[in-house]
Chains A and B, each alone.
Chain A
Amino acid sequence: MTESVAYSLVAGIFVGFAAGYVGSLMVLKRMALVGDALSHVALPGLALGILLNFNPFLGAFAFLFAAAILTWYIEKTTRLFPESIVGVLFVTALAVGILITPEVDLLEALFGDITTVTLVDALLAVGISVPIVVVSRLVYRRVVLSILSEELARSTGVNVALVNFVYLFLVTVVVAVGIKIVGTVLVGALVVVPAAAVKNVSRSLSSYALFSGLTGIASAGSGILLADYLHLPAGPLVVTVGTAIFAVALVAGWIASRSSSSASGP
């Protein structure tokens, strides 16, 4: 294992947990595809970073943050659903990003490259992932309550607009740090697949959030190790491992519901 793969593994474990944890809220908000499309908006920012010689992460983060603010503001002030906004704006960003990204860097930007991860990248991933999880945990209940009933949340003093903004900010940051591992095309899956896998087999909210994070670790860690062993791109392998876990959980959930319904039957 090379140093860069070891750094990737460290970054993958922390980003995987943070992405799974934040993603568990995204799945509950039924914004899985929004997260996927949102990730594409990072591409022009990455391209500007490469072209103008500054850290591409900062470019990606700036574009994602601007996009999140725009989504939040339009959602707050109009009656458009987020997917309408995302559908119009963010796919355009992907097109622009592909046009301006230098061809030699395009593949890395789209699918990530664990062979180029440095110690600074790994430290950045750890330093950002930990606060993401801490803040997510702080707002988790308020986000879920606003998903269940916005009025009920407001009646208990929850500032729903602020909570939604914080949540979108967390999504933005976790997508930005995940891009280095799996690229802009697949980072949406890193966020969504772990939560989708464990949702149907979770018995409580806390186990759902925790196991979404742990599944994120399993997907990212296994995918990176497989990528190193097979000499294949990490991004697609991370997503493939996550999808395999999703399939196993789906079958397990199906078996559990069949056995519980037959136990409670006549």
Chain B
Amino acid sequence: MVVAPPQSRGPSRDTGAEADVLRVANLGVRLDHVPILEDVSFHVRRGTTLAIVGPNGAGKTTLFRVLLGLVPHTGTVEWSGPVRIGYVPQNFVVTDVPITVRDFLGFKSGAGFEESLAAVGLGGAVLPKRLDVLSGGEMQRVLIAWAVLDRPNVLLFDEPTAMVDIGSQDMLYESLNRLEKNINITVFLITHDIHIVSQYSDAVLALNRTVRFFGASSRLSEPDLLMEIFGSGSGLAEHKHDFGARGLR
């Protein structure tokens, strides 16, 4: 395991342990007596983005399920202060259900639809559309609008662009960028895209049942470290994104 405490790339808002929104220590999860996560420890500073990477079956989604309080576990998961979590699940596919965007957002809140949709670059015109006619990019942005509808201070994204083409990914991350500017939130992002990790996140947690690396995402530019963490078959993809000269942050 390689552990190097990450530093926020943005302006420092707080210092010390008080700035952590989450501290996880010695976390363990077993499903049907099979260890899924073992001795996982990390911490996340408020207002930063933690990218979670690792091969399929590494326990990334299980970690999210723990953070959502859905899975029994050992060890400690300690949130600092009250948290409202917005969650965007992996592989959310709606087929053959007569449900509109308005219906879907209405499950969570009675108002504020236009504001949430505007935050992800969608207009109110999408409200009467059925979910099963939306494109992959529109669907993901509706999910993000859903996640931010009740003004969360923590967002969990499980591979938000897994089902989206490259062009729509750019739009999606621009939407995320707008959200981060407008709301001071902490983002947890599961991704296989090393480009997103290096450009978008402050810290990275590499999992493969145990912690393989936890530290500043800027260190992933070191080829030796990449090899040490992931080996030759890193399980990471590199996509070309045009985020403009400023990048995402």
Contact = CB atoms under 8 A, between A and B. Distances in A.
Interface string A111-136: 00000000000000000000000000
Contacts of A231: none
A148 B94 contact: yes
B100 A205 contact: yes
A148 B141 CA distance: 17
A139 to B, nearest CB: 12
Interface stretch (B16-24, B84-92, B225-233): B84-92
Given A156-B108, A204-B102, A151 B65 contact: yes
Interface of A is mostly: helix
A203 B85 contact: no
B159 to A, nearest CB: 13
B103 A145 contact: no
A202 B100 CA distance: 10
Interface in A151-170: 151-152, 154-156
A147 B92 CA distance: 11
B98 A149 contact: no
Given A149-B92, A154-B68, A154-B70, A203 B87 contact: no
A144 B102 contact: no
Contact of A152 (B92, B97, B98, B102): B92
Contacts of B118: none
B87 A155 contact: yes
Contacts of A203: 98, 100, 128, 130
Assign chain A's interface to a size class: 20 to 34
B4 interface: no
B99 interface: yes
Nearest to B133: A260
Contacts of A206: 103
B68 A28 contact: no
Assign chain B's interface to a size class: 20 to 34
B99 A205 contact: yes
Contacts of A28: 97
B201 to A, nearest CB: 22
Contacts of B99: 144, 148, 204-205
A76 interface: no
B68 A205 contact: no
Contacts of B102: 204
B48 to A, nearest CB: 21
Contacts of A149: 89, 92
B100 to A, nearest CB: 5
A133 B98 CA distance: 19
A208 interface: yes
A152 B99 CA distance: 16
A236 to B, nearest CB: 29
A253 to B, nearest CB: 11
Interface string A51-76: 00000000000000000000000000
Nearest to B32: A79
13 contacts: A144-B99, A148-B94, A148-B97, A148-B104, A149-B89, A151-B87, A152-B89, A152-B92, A154-B70, A155-B68, A156-B107, A203-B100, A204-B128
Interface of A: 28, 141, 144-145, 147-149, 151-152, 154-156, 199-200, 202-208
Interface of B: 65, 68, 70, 85, 87, 89, 92, 94, 96-100, 102-104, 106-108, 128, 130
| 10 closest A-B pairs by CB | A202-B98, A155-B87, A205-B103, A208-B98, A204-B100, A205-B99, A155-B68, A141-B107, A145-B107, A154-B70
